Amino acid sequence: MKKIGSTGVTRRGILGAFAATVVIAAPTYSNAAGFLRGGGDVRRIQMFSGRTGERLDTIYWIEGEYIGEAIREVNTFMRDWRTGQVIDIDTRTIDIIAATHNLMDANEPYMMLSGYRSPQTNTMLRSRSRNVAKNSLHVLGQAADLRLNGRSTDQMSRAAKSVRAGGVGRYRGSNFVHMDCGPIRSWNG
């Protein structure tokens, strides 16, 4: 499988350099994402895509700062795999995904079913399913559909809702949970 990102020597070096500061300084954060329940002082995202065979395992946020290289890796990983189009994924969505993973104390990566969707892809999917929204937040890079083999959709959706930071849709029949950074709401698909 192709690896998009990793917590290799460079990130470990960064993490080591900041570890003492994170513990001692207890920084305050000027943005709301810093207060995200379950987010943590060091944020890591772990996913794989069955569609592309790619894996992502990266630390993307340390001591109140996003790591540009890691965010670019996330953007590439969450691209529309049908068209290859890459856009900037809203970092609030990345934070929600990571915080939910932390709250579940999961060791396995998410399986990403859908991240960014181009307007063309969304229109095509909408013609095949009534569960695809016309104005989907996927088109804005603000949503992801995720599965975690070691957790049920009920467990995932409860953890995502407890983050209190966006929309959460549970799709039991398809075994995935939708997470987005839109208004706080929830639904069962």
pLDDT for 131 equals 76
pTM, rounded to two decimals: 0.79
For domain 3-188, the question of CATH label 1.10.357.10 is answered with: no
Distance CA 177, CA 18 (A): 33
User: DSSP per residue over the chain, as a string?
Assistant: --EEE---HHHHHHHHHHHHHHHHH----SSGGGG-TT--SEEEEEEE-TTT--EEEEEEEETTEE-HHHHHHHHHHTS-TTT----PPPHHHHHHHHHHHHHTT--SPEEEEE----HHHHHHHHHH-TTS-TT-GGGGT-EEEEE-TTS-HHHHHHHHHHH-SSEEEEETTTTEEEEESSSSEEEE-
pLDDT tens, residue by residue, 166-185: 999 999 889 999 999 999 99
When pLDDT is averaged across residues 56-72 and rounded to a whole number, the result is 95
With contact defined as beta carbons under 8 Å apart, do 61 and 67 qualify?
Answer: yes
> What percentage of residues in the chain have a pLDDT greater than 70?
78
pLDDT for 18 equals 42
Is the pLDDT reported for residue 9 higher than 80? no
When pLDDT is averaged across residues 73-80 and rounded to a whole number, the result is 97
Buried b (16+ CB within 10 A) or exposed e, 107-123: eebbbbbbbbbbeebbe
With contact defined as beta carbons under 8 Å apart, do 149 and 116 qualify?
Answer: no
Domain boundaries, the chain: 3-188
pLDDT tens, residue by residue, 129-170: 877 788 899 999 999 999 999 999 999 999 999 999 999 999
Distance CA 53, CA 39 (A): 27
Is the pLDDT reported for residue 107 higher than 80? yes
**Which amino acid does the sequence have at 37?**
R
With contact defined as beta carbons under 8 Å apart, do 16 and 62 qualify?
Answer: no
